[in-house]
Amino acid sequence: MEFEAVSQFVILAMFVVLLAMFLGPPLVFAVLYWLDRRQTQHAVLRNYPILGRFRYLLEHIGPELRQYLFNADLEGKPFTREGYLSIVFAGKYLKTLISFGSKRDFDKPGWYVRNAMLPTLIDDMAAIREPRIPTRRYVIHDEGLFSRKEDLVDADVAPWTLDDEFAIALGEGLPHPWTLRGLVGMSAMSYGALGRHAIQALSHGLGMATGTWMNTGEGGLSEHHLVGGGDIVFQIGPGLFGVRTDAGEWSWDAFSRQAEVESVRGFELKFHQGAKIRGGHVEGAKVTPEIAAIRGVPAWQSIDSPNRFPMFRSLDDALDHVARMRERGGKPVGIKIVVGGPGSVDELASAMARRGDGPDWIAVDGGEGGSGATYQEMADSMGLPIRSAIVEADNALRGHGIRDRVRLFAAGKLSSPDHIAVALALGADAVTNARGLMISVGCIQAQRCHSNTCPVGVATTDEKLMQALVVDEKKWRVLNYVAALRAGLNSLAAASGLRSPTQFERRHAVYRDAYGRIHSADTLFPYPDAVDGGALA
């Protein structure tokens, strides 16, 4: 009897399941049809109930479909598939070799690096290659359609840092000058914009790479920036985070405490950012109690900074402040700007020439730079791209006779050795990189940086999402990526007949226009003359 009862129950259950399978979908569609026809928010759903929902589905997954299926290798923004993968492969596999040929469209206008008839032998390059740096990289054993077998193995890389002859000095004459041993550093990315694990992985990787530095961004200095032991640039934005009073005003006492941190090698005042000539913004969901304490703001509330330093009413005010920072901190100070158009830097350069002082470096951020949160119109149309901007800045400093005492850093999608080489040739002394380093720690260009829902744990402070980013694995990718950039840059310099990438000049950059005509950058952008007193000739 028990067996018959169980059998009847099983049959009844199967009947209910089959009935639900046949009647459930029509019932669900009927309910959706009724709801769609009567809602008042979406015209498409009122005219095309149910069917219109597929439009919203495709709209929602469209970015992923384009990124993974439909964009060609040289398509896609902000980074092409090819550009993205080159960063990933350099960091993960220490692989920069390609086969068969370039995918570049050589019929389109673009920049090239001039080669020499007799390149410099690699052994004759003035770069430090020993001792090699221990690292780890992945080796693929087997790769199928749905799986990949790979192991993380020990390896080593050459530092490719600058020797004494070509090292870059900042803040000479100060109690604590800074010497750059490499030409590639990290652009400003705040703790809060990026999560704790991302900051730690970057700190460890950059510290192990040596000869590089990390910029704190305007969010202030945290213990996570310090774990790698590398050089740090403390950036100060108009919000004054980390150097402010409880009332939000500048505090010289707080500044002096930050200057006492040994790893902080210099300070940078952020006047502008390439993606936004406006104050910074962080969503309240990202402002954890720890981040709030570092910035001196309430937890879980959105942060909006002013669009300029309220205490600067003139350039002289700003330069007075820079001079006092150098004196109080004993360390070099830079400023970060965006170049708006022809002559935009002349007023600053003229003031510096007249006064005989000014920042130790100027970081020029191109309009193509990224941000965790900005507005479309600002990102698309405000600020010159980096190649035009660096020429304008270089010309202004040369024209006013002060180029020899101010260094230029360039930023704006300079994530490959050839792009860096062109920037150096056009006038930069060094470059900084943000999104390339984000990709090296796992960024997949989901473009959710502002929402605190980054799916790979990079641009989020959500504890659950951050667990995806394993610091002890990603730190090697950061090291490998930076080492690969420096190796590639030295390889290009050697091919150009130079002993160091610091020797790139405008004549080494060549532009091919739409008609196939070739223009040397020193012809397109002649170096300006300066007369006595620094006035333009």
The class that CATH gives domain 122-174+181-534 is: alpha beta
**Structure confidence at residue 27 (pLDDT):** 79
**Structure confidence at residue 536 (pLDDT):** 42
| Residue 365: its H or E element | strand 361-365
Q: Pick from 471, 473, 454, 444: which is nearest to 201 by CA?
A: 471
Give me the residue label for tokens 């402070």.
461
**Structure confidence at residue 446 (pLDDT):** 85
H helix count then E strand count, the chain = 17, 19
Kindly list the averaged pLDDT for each block of 10 residues, start to end, along the chain of length 537: 62 70 75 82 84 80 73 78 91 89 91 97 96 96 83 96 96 97 96 93 98 95 96 96 91 97 97 73 80 85 82 96 98 96 95 97 87 67 89 97 97 95 98 95 88 91 94 97 98 98 98 96 91 45
Q: Pick from 536, 520, 519, 516: which is nearest to 528 by CA?
A: 536
**Structure confidence at residue 37 (pLDDT):** 85
For residues 509 and 422, what is the distance between their CA atoms, to the nearest angstrom? 6
For residues 90 and 488, what is the distance between their CA atoms, to the nearest angstrom? 11
Instruction: Report the Cα–Cα distance between both ends of the chain, in Å, rounded.
Output: 110
289 three-class SS: helix
All structural domains of the chain with their residue ranges: 2-70, 122-174+181-534
Measure the CA dihedral 519/521/523/527, to 10°.
180
What's the predicted TM-score (pTM) here? Answer: 0.89
| Residue 186: its H or E element | strand 184-186
**Structure confidence at residue 400 (pLDDT):** 96
Neighbouring residues of 97: CB distance < 8 A, sequence distance ≥ 6: none
Measure the CA dihedral 425/427/431/436, to 10°.
-60
| Residue 395: its H or E element | helix 386-399
